[in-house]
Structure 1
Amino acid sequence: MRYIVIGAGAVGGTIGGRLFQGGHEVVLIARGAHYEALKRDGLRLITPDSTETLPIPAADGPIPTRDDDVLVVATKTQDTIAALAPWSPDLPVVCAQNGVANERIALRRFERVYGMCVWLPAQIPAPGTVAAHGYPYSGMLHVGRYPQGVDDLAEQIATDLGKHGLVGRTSPDVMRWKYGKLLGNLANAVEALVGHVPGMSDLAELARAEARTVLDRAGIAYNTPEEEAEVRGHKVDARPIEGVERAGGSSWQSLARGSGSIESDYLNGEIVLIGRQHGVPTPVNETLRREANRVARERLAPGSMTPDQVRALIDARSAA
């Protein structure tokens, strides 16, 4: 079985690198300077206790496929449709992405779709290099068939992931874990907007409390922080890596790169969508969604706002 990792950035690069170290065939799909470095030098995978350059084949677009290929999508959600468009719908697709919209997007074209809940702290400090901060394992990955269940392929993927540096787990209710992860990811926009300052945690908890009300009203199940702590334990603790400054989360990194886009429509915006469907106001997450998009569109730096500014916008929206 060969794994084609579409979007071999921080998360995709770590997954691809660890699969390759476990003895599996892997192809990394990337673009721009990152692709050029991967093609020329291989993937440099740095962890808290090792540095290794891996000669993994890389491409900047579709390659001829085989019947035993598995597509692992690790792009941002806003790029999912374009990322999957060139690939054969006969292949299985694993959505190793934040949010809960990707699986449904993929299922329109692909019959075999798998959700993957990703706990994996990583970043790209330079083109061709991935720094995976998790220790003793780089990440823990829950895999299940979408919308539910576990089949032979899910079992095989989890086994393959667990061969080197990752923890693979099958979950028949993988989307319940992804909704729980979504609650955590609502803080991504807060971090991107205000940075790590006093008041950030309070804003993040406002967003999560609002979201729990929405999910409860909609009857959508999600795991609790206590369940996550029990399963995760200290298997994926984020540790410093010498010579690599730890950046913020994925949304923070999008602003730092000046990419012009951010994933908030599919994180905070997912809560807004469900709230509208079930008649629950969502002023906190709507404000975070709008402001994150504005800051990304204007290519402003992370931490461009203060918590008080964000709070004032939330209060104004709540009163409207």
Structure 2
Amino acid sequence: MRIAIMGAGAVGSYYGGLLARAGHAVTLIGRAPHVAAVLRDGLRLQTLAFDESVPMHASVDPAAVAGADWVLCCVKSGDTEAAAAALRPHLAPGVLLLSLQNGMDNADRLQALLPQQRVRPVLVYAAVELAGPGHLRHHGRGELVLGAGPDSAATASLFAAAGVPVQVLPDLRAAQWSKLVVNCAYNALSAISRLPYGRMIRGPGIEATMREAVAECLAVASAEGVTLPADLWQQVRALADAMPTQQSSTAQDLARGRRSEIDQLNGWLVRRGEALGVPTPVNRTLHGLVKLLEDPPGEPPLA
């Protein structure tokens, strides 16, 4: 298979690296330092199971997607429209485009802008980071979740052959909501505190704040007509014990001086709450604090 990764950050590099290691012709499209390192030395995949360099093609030019059978879109949610515009001139009709992105509506946004392609949402559960140009570090998990459909069996089979666990669900919507709830509970607090989950959750009042954020998410989901697992809070809480050294993607973005996806996480939840008449004060506060860290207001002019 010819596979292009649009947005070769941590997630894109991890799955692109595993697919290339399994023998597929993978092209990473990403930032210049990462691309240069991959072209020179291959991608170092430092996982819990192995540590090796995987040779593959890489480019800074979106035109490198030309000829791909599959495209994995792994850009930040705020870059979805720009990515679609960059891809559009180079894709043949009918290419399978998998959205491995945080947030609730990226696949819909891609499909609206790329009507000739087959766009499918994919949920990602992987603790990964770019430790440096050309160096991917895997901290845990790595499974993907797909919705049932005409492409799901072939998609799951190809990923599974590359060592990626895949689950196919009849209805992906509840799973998307469940992941959003986890992100709303952890991402902002990890970014604000600059702490890994295990230390963060031990802070005074933090577990109670997380529980309140989750309760707001459940209220908005209920108003949306989505039924979520009764033990979802327990699942959320267990993540800190399962991945105590992990920091959120939002924390990693802020540490690198980049904009995060907080508008598509707590911010999205706040907007849906407003539309449905459900108050979300905790999520609003978390969203606002991260936005302040992303783009602090300038000093007022001197009188």
The TM tier, using the shorter chain, reads 0.7 to 0.9
Q: Is the contact between residue 95 and residue 103 of structure 1 (CA under 8 Å) also seen in structure 2?
A: yes
- The alpha-carbon distance between structure 1 residues 11 and 223, as it changes in their structure 2 partners (threshold 3 A), is farther
Q: Structure 1, unaligned stretches of length 5 or more?
A: 230-236, 240-245, 300-320
For structure 2, which runs of at least 5 residues remain unmatched after alignment? 236-241, 298-303
Kept in 1: contact 2:214–2:233 (CA 8 A)? no
Q: What is the one-letter code of the residue matched to 1:258?
A: G
Q: TM-score, normalised by structure 1?
A: 0.80
State whether structure 2 residue 95 is matched by structure 1 residue 108.
no
Residue among 282, 288, 291 paired with 1:290: 288
Q: Indicate conservation of the 8 Å contact 1:3/1:71, yes or no.
A: yes
Runs of 4 or more above 6 Å deviation: 226-229
- Deviation track 1:186-215 (CA, whole Å, cap 9, x = no partner) reads 020111112325133222221111110011
The alpha carbon displacement at 1:67 in A equals: 5.7
Amino acid at match of 1:98: N
Q: Residue 279 of structure 2 is aligned with which of 281, 285, 290?
A: 281
Q: Summarize the Cα distance change of 1:225–1:122 in structure 2 as closer, same or farther, 3 Å threshold.
A: farther
- 1:1-320 to 2 correspondences below 5 Å: 1-65=1-65, 69-88=69-88, 90=93, 91-111=95-115, 112-134=118-140, 138-144=141-147, 149-151=148-150, 153-186=151-184, 187-194=186-193, 195=195, 196=200, 197-198=202-203, 199-223=205-229, 248-259=247-258, 261-298=259-296
C-alpha contact (below 8 Å) 2:127/2:246 kept by paired residues: no
Contact 1:189-1:288 within 8 A present in 2 as well: yes
Is the CA contact 2:191–2:250 (under 8 Å) kept in the aligned structure 1? yes
Alpha-carbon contact 2:35-2:134 (below 8 Å) kept = yes
1:215 and 1:274 in contact (8 A); partners too:
no
| Shift, 1:32, TM fit | 3.1
Amino acid in the other structure paired with 1:162: A
**Do 1:211 and 1:271's aligned partners in 2 also have CA atoms closer than 8 Å?**
yes
Q: Is the 8 A contact 2:27 2:57 kept in 1?
A: yes
Q: Deviations over 1:238-278 (max 9, x none)?
A: 59xxxxxx55110010111111x111110001111111111
Name the SS for the 2:285 alignment partner.
Answer: helix
> Over aligned residue pairs, what C-alpha RMSD do you find?
2.5
The SS at the match of 1:162 is helix
Cα distance in 2 between the residues matched to 1:238 and 1:129? 21
SS in 2 for 1:248: coil
In 1, Cα distance between equivalents of 2:217 and 2:253: 23
Structure number with the higher helix fraction is 2
C-alpha offsets along residues 58-108 of structure 1, whole Å, 9 cap, x if unaligned? 011223555652111112101111122111363322110111121121121
Aligned mates of 1:65, 1:7 — CA distance in 2:
11
**DSSP-derived class of the 1:63 partner:** helix
